[in-house]
Amino acid sequence: MLRKCAKLLFVWTFIVAWSASLALAESAMMSYDQMAASMDASSGYKAISKVKPAEPITTKVKPSIMGGLDGMSRFNPMNWAQDNLLPVPAQGQFVAGPKVLFARVHGEARRGLAGAAFTGSPADFNDNLGFRKSGNIVWSVEAAYQLRPKFSLRYSFTPIKMDASGNNTSQFTFAGQLFASQTPIFSRWERFEHRAGVGFNLINNPSSRTNLFAEWMYIQDKITVGSVAGATNALTWDDSRNLAVVGLEFEKALKNWRGNTLALSCKADIAFLSDSFGFDAETALNYMIPIKSGRFGFVKGGYKYSYFQKDIKHDALNTTLDGAFVQVGFMF
């Protein structure tokens, strides 16, 4: 009997304890929900509710002209190889080196006499004066000093000397003297060209730079023509001029490899004043090799075209030099 009473008491105690624990848990959950609701209300947050997403609205957009031109940006040289770095001269550094141009030469020269009614026919450089059309070597020296981060000083010197002899193919007049067809003649053309000026950095970023430059150019031409047989005295035309030059140059890094840099280099300018006009244009690939920190050696190769014209009443001179060139130098 006592055993049954003990079992009944144990079961009853277990039921009461279990019921009390459930009631306590329910009251705790309700108090937690009320506290969370009060916190949400006090902080200003809104209750989360499920919202059915709205139907997407399809609109037709007419493509703009500028949008169609976005694909053309890949042809802009400024966007090429933007991750590569272009070595540029720092303030106080020089960039200098000799250049050799393997030139084709074309031109005409007309030298008249003051007061003469007839100015004569021009002498062709190739057919009359006998200068070679190709295979001529013209050398020059170029140097630049970076005076300030955006300003530089520039200088270049180009001497030309060509000799020729042979029979002219057609009749021409030079300095009032008539040279008949098939006359044995000798001729010489000498030119000395000096350029000095300043450069200004327009655009400079890690992979490219663009410079504007203005220069003073002094150019002297001396042409001598005479007869090999001595029947005609040698005639010399010595002419010098001062011109103004304005131009742009552009450099762009294409590839960096183990410290070396391959870059694209382009330059163009025009010259004017003194009844003369001319222009130069060149494009090249420049391979730069590091020597020490901030110092480089470079080898540049490309194509150059140079044109010059002077034309007044009695005198005229047109010359064209074009061909491949190679330049070596240092940035130090």
* Count of Cβ atoms closer than 10 Å to residue 150 Cβ: 13
Domain borders along the chain are 73-331
Q: What is the pLDDT of residues 59-109, one digit of tens each?
A: 555 555 445 545 554 555 555 556 899 999 999 999 999 999 999 999 999
Averaged over 288-312, what is the pLDDT?
94
Q: What residues have CB less than 8 Å from 154, skipping those under 6 apart?
A: 142, 143, 144, 195, 196, 197, 198, 199, 213, 215
Structure tokens at 331: 């940035």
Angle at 284 between CA 278 and CA 288, to 5 degrees: 130
Q: What residues have CB less than 8 Å from 259, skipping those under 6 apart?
A: 289, 290
Determine the Cα–Cα distance for residues 18 and 10; give it in Å rounded to an integer.
Answer: 12
Q: What is the pLDDT of residues 195-253, one digit of tens each?
A: 999 999 999 999 999 999 999 999 999 999 988 776 567 889 999 999 999 999 999 99
CATH no., domain 73-331: 2.40.160.20
- Helix (H, G, I), strand (E, B), or coil: what is residue 240? strand
